[in-house]
Amino acid sequence: MARSKTASTKPIRVGVIGVGRGQSFAAGASEAVGMKLVALCDTWEERLTQTGKRFGVSTYTDFDKFLEHDMDAVILANYFHQHAPFAIKALKAGKHVMSETASNTTMAEGVELCRTVEKTGKTYMLAENYPYSAANQEMRKVYLKGKIGNVVYAEGEYNHAAEENWRLSISPGLKHWRNWLPSTYYCSHALAPLMYITNTMPVKVNSLAMTEVGTKSPHTVRVGDAGSVILCRMDNGAVFRIFGLMISSEHRVRYEVHGDKGLIGTAIGNAWGGIRVHQESWFRKKGDPASLTYSPDWPEHGDLAKKAGHGGGDFWTNFHFANAIRTGTPPYLDVYRGVAMCSVGILAWRSCLKDGAPLDMPDFRQESQRKKFANDHWSPWPDGSGDGKAPPSIKGYEKPNAKAIARARKVWKSIGFKGE
């Protein structure tokens, strides 16, 4: 697509929507990456006012008014399932867009988002931060040098084991997206680093979900399943296994890439900054060890990355977004990769509901492949629209009982939430 090059050294004026998680992006929109925060938007007026005073910027409760502010780019840190409509509106308003977590949560949103980026020529980036840990950046470097050959099989794990009261505190409301989240939808933390390391794209998906009887009602108001395993056939023929999301066994982040000449993976106990490289004897040079475990240096800007959250990833997302805007060169996590990995979660959920049936992934770069999904609004969210409703669990919809709801509301009241 055509893009205009910008040689200006003026700071990129940024507005952030969402004053919860969005505060991290707001703080990161700094001179260090060539950005300047100019506006914030949220419907939570009390916290918005407090955050606006903290950063000394304009605040808006109306997104349309927010978009009228004099700025170059918008960072979306609103609810997981609401990013695409906001991104599309911001792109059409002439803003560059970086969107956290989910580019799209329906296939139709993915199609419209790709078309809008192409039509507007604006920069779009998915703010998936896990590829940018020191470990994952080093594994990409090692892989691209050919150290382990071509990927044949890889594993990505993001399992966020969570104590129930804490989980309730970050998901206030019976209709909060986290309570309805199908277990496959939040697959990007596990999948994105593997795609980044190997430069591959998914072409086929199948999946199975798991429930946890002991942590379902009457103990929780969550109606989505605890976890799933997704298998992705990649465009080079490799198979990736993706595991997560909230199984109670262990909180763990892990990546492993098996090549036809060796293996690279995150070091046990140090998934953010340590890696292990292994080769069998017939591939090693004389005198080389079978396995080497080490903590790599950051490729650059280590002093800034070390201060940022999510293993430094929160610094790198802002850095790469700003760089893409300045140069006119699409970032690695462009609209096509962002929509592809989020669509893996959607198609994987369909597979779960069909007991693991394989489904083909369209190439969203090709209009001929994506257009058949242009009206596919299949959605699990209680406020979703369009034809077709996806159940949040492989068991369908199990309404939380009164005891679970009463307990949840006590937790929500303690954090100041007054809604349902």
Task: Give the global pTM.
Answer: 0.94
- Of 126, 160, 179, the last residue of a domain is 126
Per DSSP, the residues of 339-355 read HHHHHHHHHHHHHHHTT
Same domain, 92 and 191: no
Same domain, 138 and 165: yes
Residue 99 in any domain: the answer is: yes
Same domain, 80 and 141: no
Residue 420 in any domain: the answer is: no
CATH code for the domain in which residue 205 is found: 3.30.360.10
Same domain, 99 and 172: no
Domain total of the chain = 2
Instruction: Establish how many alpha carbons lie within 13 A of residue 67's alpha carbon, considering only the half-sphere containing its beta carbon.
Output: 16
pLDDT at residue number 6: 39
Residue 402 in any domain: the answer is: no
Same domain, 209 and 152: yes
Same domain, 164 and 270: yes
Residue 399 in any domain: the answer is: no
Contacts of 89 (CB under 8 A, 6+ apart): 63, 64, 67
Residue 61 in any domain: the answer is: yes
Q: Looking up tokens 């997560």, which residue turns up?
A: 244
Closest by Cα among 131, 148, 128, 142 to 275:
142
Same domain, 154 and 208: yes
Same domain, 122 and 87: yes
Residue 321 in any domain: the answer is: no
pLDDT at residue number 312: 83
Residue 6 in any domain: the answer is: no
Ramachandran angles phi, psi of 209, nearest 5°: -105, 155
- Of 60, 92, 126, the last residue of a domain is 126
Range of the domain at 338: 131-307+334-373
Residue 392 in any domain: the answer is: no
Rounded CA separation 173/170 (Å): 10
Buried/exposed 107-116: b ≥16 CB within 10 Å, e otherwise: bbbbbbbbbb
Q: Give the distance, in angstroms, between the CA of residue 191 and the centroid of all CA atoms in the same chain.
A: 9
Is residue 393 within 8 A of residue 153, CB to CB? The reply is no
CATH code for the domain in which residue 116 is found: 3.40.50.720
Same domain, 37 and 61: yes
pLDDT tens, the chain, 420 aa long? 333 343 457 899 999 999 988 999 999 999 989 999 999 999 989 889 999 999 999 999 999 999 999 999 999 999 999 999 999 999 999 999 999 889 999 999 999 999 999 999 999 999 999 999 999 999 999 999 999 999 999 999 999 998 889 999 999 999 999 999 999 999 999 999 999 999 999 999 999 999 987 666 677 899 999 999 999 999 999 999 999 989 988 989 999 999 999 999 998 777 788 999 999 999 998 889 999 999 998 888 888 888 887 888 889 999 999 999 999 999 999 999 999 999 999 999 999 999 999 999 999 999 999 999 999 999 999 876 555 689 999 999 888 989 999 999 999 999 888 888
Same domain, 115 and 150: no
pLDDT at residue number 170: 92
Same domain, 74 and 208: no
How are strands ordered across the β-sheet holding 202-210? Answer: 291-294, 270-278, 262-267, 252-259, 151-159, 239-245, 227-234, 202-210, 359-360
Same domain, 339 and 207: yes
